[in-house]
Structure formats: structure tokens, C-alpha cells
């Protein structure tokens, strides 16, 4: 009786298979087997007692076809930000209600294509398997199943998938049937990308932008993934007109590369304080609390000087007018340019002095926590980005500017009762910490909730409405 072959690691990704027959005949018969697939320590497909019997050639075909999407498609279809990849379709259904039918139909196609290429369950034609959705975030990668999300280094995921493919290729060794021959050839070509592919799936830029960007890129598309201008174009391109897009690229190129010793040392400390939690905003809060004393530059009121903090870390801050309010800033920290923050002087938040502070504190969080993982090159505040690091950076910025314990102390001191009292408290907190009304209201709401205060529904709803002010 054939033995079970284990490929990969159960804590990350493991495919365990007992091949049904000797490796001969066509693609189907050579790859038939009873298998289980484990992700993050959970058996997702099959079970040890009842493994999943299938012709696994389909998994090889899926990997060959999807490889470049797994490599390059790091964001959800335009405008969708589901809580996690398993509810992408729900996010689309909610959104389509507000859309023109033609636009909804086009977006639906993108959603179908996304699922087709990022869900391992799509590999199995004619069988229904539980979803395993793979989404790259920079140097990290998330694998989401019904048991939750496992985040791993992207390289570990590609290695695990390559090992599975390699086991299947071994089964096809010497096969001459057309399906085997095609699968082997497709696998060899899995990573090759054309300009058209990158334009469509990695950059999704209007064609006028594409020509602006193309002139700044080397000939071989294979290296574009390591370029700051390409990364910025992916995140921000669709939000800018041609002139502003060109200005953004030129601004990034004008940023020199500078040493990051001080920032790296502080990043290591911030990473040490980072305890992975369920909710991204709790990570942001905890990191801000731990790092505030390390960062210094606090006046006697408890108000931080964020510009001085960034200067002390050799992070350049400069202004650029991108003529749109939808982006607040671009942080650049790749191998060729940065670290720097380019603040958009027309940004809905960044155009005012207090919103500018929030913007810079938000970028500081990315500089401390995300350069080695989800955002290795640039980040665009307002652009197309993974949701989790954004939530974390927003919470970090709020807590760094306006510490919760100070808000609780101020609330107890003032003991507000009327809605007017609460508004005055938010105003006073905003003045003292030079924070926008939105951030002051947000912190007042959360700090009092965390302190066990049950806020009257009218107070809660007034504070919530203040958090929506820019």
C-alpha cells in the first residue's frame, strides 16, 4: 500500500497525499490520490479519516495559471475593501446597490477573476472545496480559510506551493498526453509577465498614465516590482490626473536615498512591542503607547512634535501639491529613494495643520512596522492598500497624538453631562494635543468606552458624527 507523502509544513501550508496508482498513463491517472490540505495547523480539505480523492493535475494547472496573479495582484478589485478575503463577494453585493449596472457588471467580472486566481478551491473543477484565499501584502502573505487568517512570509508561501507543484511534476515525469505536456509547459512559464498583464492587473492605470510611467521603467518588467515609482503608481495612479501623476513620480524620483540606521533601530523596538492581536487597531494603540516615551519630543502639555520626531529619525518631510483631496501623503522607503514623506498640500486631511500631524503620525507607523512586511517600498495614504496595516496606522496615529489615559483623565475632571459639554471637551482635547476634531472625538469615544463608561446613545452618536469631520 502506498505511503502518505507530506509536502510542506502543517503550521503554514501542507499537502499530504497517498497516490492511487503508479505514475503512468495520462495526467489524470498519474495524479489521482487521496489528500488532505492543512493551513495554519487546521485541516481545510479532506480529513485524516476521509481524505479528499481527486485528480490533482488540476492543482498544478491552477498554480501555473494563477502564479502571476498571486505575485502581482496585491489588492482587491477597485473600490472593494472586505473585512477579509472570504467576504469579498458580500462586499461586492453591498457596493453594487449604489452602482450603475454596467459598472457593477464590470466589477463583478473582476471579482470573479480575483476569486478564480486567489482561491485554491478554484483549482478543483466540478468539486466544491472549502475556500483557501491567498493574498500577498508586500513581503507578507495571508492565507484565509474558515478557521481564520494565517500570515506568513510571502517567500514561504511560494516555496510551499512550488513544492506541491514539484511533487505533481514528478508524477508527470515522462508523460506524453497533451494535458500533461501543457501543464508542464505552463508551469515553466508561470512567472513570465507582459507589459499588458502588469498594466491590467498590477497597475490598473489609465493608458495616458501608463505611457508616463513606462518611460521611467527599465525594459524588463520582471524588475518593476522592486521600484518605488511602480509601487506608487499601483496605489495612487487611478486617483490622479495625468499632470499630478507625473508630478508624483517626479517627486518620488527626486527623493534621495538616505541612511536608515536610527529608524531601523526604532523599528526593531516597535516590532518587539507588537503582539499580534485579532484587531489591527489594538496593535496600533499598543505600539503607540509603548513607543511614545521612546520617540520623545513631548511638551509639558503632553503634545508631541511629530515633525521633530521624523527629523530626528532622518526622515525627510516635504510638500507636494497633487491637486486632489483624495490622497493625503505618500511615504517612500524603498531601496533607491527615502525614507521620506511627501505631504499632499491639497489632501482632505493633510491640508490643515492638525490633519497634517495625523498624516505624519500615520506614516510614522508604517515606517516603524510595515517596511519589512506588508509595505516594502511606498505607502499612499488614501490609495489602494491592504486594510489591516491602514487600520493599525490610523489607530497608532490617534493614540500617539492623543493618549487615551489623558482623555480619560480629562473626561473625569470635566465630567461632561450635556452634548454641549462633550463637544467642548473634544474641542479642548483637540487644542491641547493639536489634533483634528475627528481624532479628538475618536479618542474620546474609544478611551471612555475602554474605561468602562457606558456613554448615553445621544453622546455616542454625537461623538461618532464628530469623528467624520476632516
Nearer Cβ to Zn ion (37/330) = 330
Nearer Cβ to Zn ion (169/369) = 369
Nearer Cβ to Zn ion (68/384) = 384
Q: How far apart are CA 204 and CA 218, in angstroms?
A: 19
Give the shortest CB-379-to-Zn ion separation in angstroms: 5
DSSP state of 199: I
Cα–Cα nearest to 361, from 428, 435, 427: 435
Give the shortest CB-267-to-Zn ion separation in angstroms: 16
Give the shortest CB-378-to-Zn ion separation in angstroms: 10
Told to check if 342 binds Zn ion by CB under 5 A, we report no
Residues 362-381 that bind Zn ion (CB under 5 A): 379, 381
Told to check if 165 binds Zn ion by CB under 5 A, we report no
CB 444 within 8 A of CB 460: no
Nearer Cβ to Zn ion (161/343) = 343
Segment near Zn ion (CB under 5 A); pick from 28-36, 219-227, 348-356, 393-401? 393-401
Give the shortest CB-366-to-Zn ion separation in angstroms: 5
Cell 505552463 belongs to 186
Told to check if 393 binds Zn ion by CB under 5 A, we report yes
Cα–Cα nearest to 401, from 443, 344, 340, 351: 443
Nearer Cβ to Zn ion (203/365) = 365
What is the number of alpha carbons within 13 Å of residue 204 lying toward its C-beta? 17
Give the shortest CB-383-to-Zn ion separation in angstroms: 8
Nearer Cβ to Zn ion (137/390) = 390
Q: How far apart are CA 52 and CA 130, in angstroms?
A: 12
Site string for Zn ion, 190-229 (x = CB under 5 A): ----------------------------------------
Q: How far apart are CA 403 and CA 99, in angstroms?
A: 40
Residues 320, 325, 326, CA angle at the centre, nearest 5°? Answer: 105
CB 258 within 8 A of CB 338: yes
Segment near Zn ion (CB under 5 A); pick from 176-184, 236-244, 249-257, 392-400? 392-400
Dihedrals φ, ψ of 403, to 5°? -65, 135
Nearer Cβ to Zn ion (61/363) = 363
Segment near Zn ion (CB under 5 A); pick from 253-261, 263-271, 389-397, 443-451? 389-397
Residue number with the smallest Cβ distance to Zn ion: 393
Residue 338 β-bridge partners: 257
Cα–Cα nearest to 295, from 378, 377, 396: 396
Nearer Cβ to Zn ion (152/378) = 378
Give the shortest CB-338-to-Zn ion separation in angstroms: 15
Indicate left, alpha or beta for 126 from its phi (over 0: left) and psi (-120 to 50: alpha): left
- Tell me the site size for Zn ion, rule CB under 5 A: 4
Q: CB 223: neighbour CB atoms within 10 A?
A: 11
| Cα dihedral 18, 19, 20, 24 in deg (nearest 10) | -170
Give the shortest CB-226-to-Zn ion separation in angstroms: 20
- List interacting residues with Zn ion (CB under 5 A): 379, 381, 390, 393
Amino acid at each position: 500500500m502506498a505511503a502518505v507523502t507530506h509536502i510542506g509544513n502543517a503550521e503554514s501550508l501542507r499537502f499530504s497525499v497517498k497516490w492511487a496508482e503508479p505514475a503512468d498513463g495520462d495526467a489524470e491517472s498519474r495524479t489521482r490520490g487521496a489528500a488532505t490540505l492543512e493551513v495554519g495547523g487546521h485541516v481545510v480539505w479532506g480529513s485524516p479519516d476521509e481524505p479528499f480523492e481527486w485528480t490533482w493535475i488540476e492543482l498544478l494547472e491552477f498554480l501555473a495559471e494563477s502564479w502571476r496573479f498571486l505575485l502581482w495582484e496585491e489588492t482587491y478589485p477597485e473600490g472593494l475593501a472586505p473585512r477579509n478575503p472570504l467576504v469579498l463577494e458580500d462586499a461586492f453585493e453591498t457596493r453594487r446597490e449604489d452602482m450603475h449596472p454596467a459598472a457593477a457588471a464590470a466589477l463583478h467580472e473582476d471579482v470573479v477573476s480575483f476569486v478564480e486566481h486567489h482561491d485554491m478551491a478554484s483549482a478543483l473543477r466540478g468539486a466544491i472545496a472549502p475556500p483557501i484565499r491567498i493574498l500577498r501584502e508586500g513581503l507578507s502573505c495571508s492565507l484565509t480559510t474558515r478557521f481564520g487568517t494565517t500570515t506568513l512570509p510571502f517567500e514561504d508561501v511560494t516555496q510551499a506551493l512550488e513544492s506541491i507543484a514539484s511533487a505533481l511534476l514528478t508524477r508527470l515525469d515522462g508523460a506524453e498526453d497533451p494535458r500533461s505536456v501543457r501543464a508542464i509547459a505552463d508551469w515553466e512559464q508561470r512567472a513570465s509577465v507582459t507589459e499588458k498583464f502588469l498594466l491590467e492587473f498590477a497597475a490598473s492605470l489609465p493608458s495616458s498614465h501608463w505611457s508616463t510611467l513606462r518611460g521611467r521603467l527599465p525594459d524588463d518588467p520582471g524588475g518593476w516590482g522592486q521600484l518605488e515609482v511602480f509601487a506608487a503608481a499601483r496605489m495612487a495612479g487611478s486617483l490622479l490626473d495625468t499632470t499630478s501623476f507625473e508630478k508624483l513620480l517626479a517627486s518620488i524620483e527626486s527623493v534621495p536615498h538616505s541612511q536608515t540606521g536610527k529608524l531601523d533601530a526604532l523599528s526593531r523596538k516597535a516590532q518587539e512591542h507588537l503582539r499580534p492581536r485579532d484587531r489591527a487597531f489594538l496593535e496600533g494603540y499598543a505600539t503607540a503607547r509603548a513607543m511614545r516615551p521612546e520617540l520623545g519630543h513631548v511638551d509639558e502639555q503632553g503634545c508631541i512634535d511629530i515633525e521633530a520626531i521624523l527629523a530626528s529619525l532622518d526622515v525627510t518631510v516635504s510638500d507636494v501639491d497633487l491637486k486632489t483631496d483624495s490622497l493625503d501623503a505618500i511615504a517612500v522607503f524603498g531601496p533607491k529613494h527615502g525614507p521620506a514623506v511627501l505631504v499632499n498640500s491639497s489632501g482632505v486631511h493633510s491640508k490643515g495643520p492638525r490633519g497634517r500631524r495625523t498624516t505624519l503620525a500615520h506614516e510614522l507607523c508604517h515606517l516603524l512596522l510595515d517596511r519589512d512586511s506588508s509595505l516594502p517600498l511606498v505607502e499612499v495614504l488614501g490609495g489602494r492598500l491592504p486594510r489591516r496595516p491602514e487600520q493599525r496606522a490610523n489607530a497608532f496615529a490617534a493614540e500617539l497624538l492623543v493618549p487615551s489615559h489623558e482623555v480619560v483623565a480629562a473626561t473625569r475632571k470635566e465630567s461632561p453631562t450635556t452634548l454641549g459639554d462633550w463637544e467642548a471637551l473634544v474641542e479642548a482635547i483637540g487644542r491641547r494635543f493639536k489634533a483634528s476634531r475627528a481624532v479628538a472625538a475618536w479618542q474620546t469615544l474609544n478611551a471612555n468606552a475602554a474605561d468602562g463608561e457606558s456613554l448615553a446613545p445621544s453622546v455616542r452618536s454625537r461623538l461618532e458624527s464628530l469623528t467624520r469631520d476632516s
